[in-house]
Structure 1
Amino acid sequence: MSPSAGADRWSHAYDPTSKVFRFSSWHLLPGDPDAFYEELHDIEAWPSWWPQVRSVEPIDDRSGYVAIRSFLPITLRLKLVALVDDSVSRTLRASLDGDLTGWSRFVVQPAGEGSLLHYDQEARVTKPGAASRFAGAARPLLVANHRSMMRTGLRALVRRAG
């Protein structure tokens, strides 16, 4: 089973005038949920396996700066602060600040012989310049950019931990 084997469920809230994006996705993955959680937990290693995560600079044990870029020529610089880091429920939730403000969450659960990964994000585009000015009009491109990044990350996560 791969992250694109048809078991994925993607959704996003749509308001063409808003700079706020809400994403929710579910993915059936082959492998141990603890292994997936551990890979997602180790954010400093993300650039080694997730191509769109260009850099991670730790601030302390609960926060750091992350630079991400998918297929659009826009690099987003974010400060992530861990809000929930629970290995028992396999839940990671972080606040986002910088070019996006909001939050994101990963939850990994056992699912038969594999794992169910649930990802949620709510973020407002705050990056100065065109990305912010045209966030509403460019919504389909920004959503496709996000999905591309997440699909690539999921494939890499499965190769690494699955």
Structure 2
Amino acid sequence: MADYRFVTRWHLAAPIETVYGALSEPPAWPHWWPGLVAVELLATGDGEGRGRRYRYLWRSALGYRLRFEVNVTRVEQPRLIEALASGDLEGIGRWELEGSATGTRVTHLWRVRTTPPWMNLSAPLTRPFFAWSHHRLMRRGALGLARHLAAPLVGPVEMSG
């Protein structure tokens, strides 16, 4: 399996509660996040969101599709959502939010392995393309969320991995 670790940072001119509210409702993401085809709620979890399960279908900029489920394992409203992914991608995802004088800083950690054989076999050659595709999806997500919240981005979208 090929391992990936991506860190993305967004800074939105919106209150932390507003940003958290949008990020804590994945079934609404396809309305504002280009590249996300569908999100299906599979389990509601507890009142805080722990135990929620979702099925995602993403379409990459390179044309391939990724299907995976996410199980929310940790929630600290309005500062943290952490989940385990399984399916075409396996690993951990985490949204961390921090209020600032100009809005909300968002850090997304995505530490996953690919499971489709074609992705793993081609990883030595295609890793840079997969990283580019991930970064493009995350940039489009930042811009889409900014439009959705009518809250501009403060500074550039920062990405590593």
TM-score bucket (shorter structure):
0.7 to 0.9
Asked whether the equivalents of residues 2 and 123 of structure 2 are also in contact (C-alpha less than 8 Å), the reply is yes
Gaps of 5+ in 2: 45-51, 152-161
Identity %: 27
Gaps of 5+ in 1: 1-17
Q: Structure 1: how far apart are the matches of 2:26 and 2:129? A: 26
Q: Structure 1: how far apart are the matches of 2:55 and 2:37? A: 11
Q: Structure 1: how far apart are the matches of 2:96 and 2:115? A: 26
Which residue is equivalent to 1:8?
Answer: none
Which residue is equivalent to 1:35?
Answer: 18
Q: Which amino acid aligns with 1:28?
A: H
Matched, 1:151 2:139: yes
Residue 86 of structure 1, CA deviation: 2.0
Q: Structure 1: how far apart are the matches of 2:58 and 2:33? A: 10
Q: Which amino acid aligns with 1:111?
A: S
Work out the number of aligned pairs and report it: 143
Residue 136 of structure 1, CA deviation: 2.7
Give the alignment's TM-score, normalised by structure 1. 0.83
Asked whether the equivalents of residues 8 and 138 of structure 2 are also in contact (C-alpha less than 8 Å), the reply is no
Q: Structure 1: how far apart are the matches of 2:76 and 2:148? A: 21
Give the alignment's TM-score, normalised by structure 2. 0.84
Which residue is equivalent to 2:119?
Answer: 131
- Corresponding residue SS for 1:79: strand
- Corresponding residue SS for 2:124: coil
Asked whether the equivalents of residues 28 and 115 of structure 1 are also in contact (C-alpha less than 8 Å), the reply is yes
Which residue is equivalent to 1:4?
Answer: none
- Corresponding residue SS for 2:69: strand
Structure 1 residue ranges, 4+ long, deviating more than 4 angstroms after superposition = none
Which structure would you say has the larger RCO, counting Cα contacts within 8 Å and 6 or more residues apart? 2
- Corresponding residue SS for 1:37: helix
Which residue is equivalent to 1:11?
Answer: none
Q: Which amino acid aligns with 1:50?
A: W
Asked whether the equivalents of residues 54 and 68 of structure 1 are also in contact (C-alpha less than 8 Å), the reply is yes
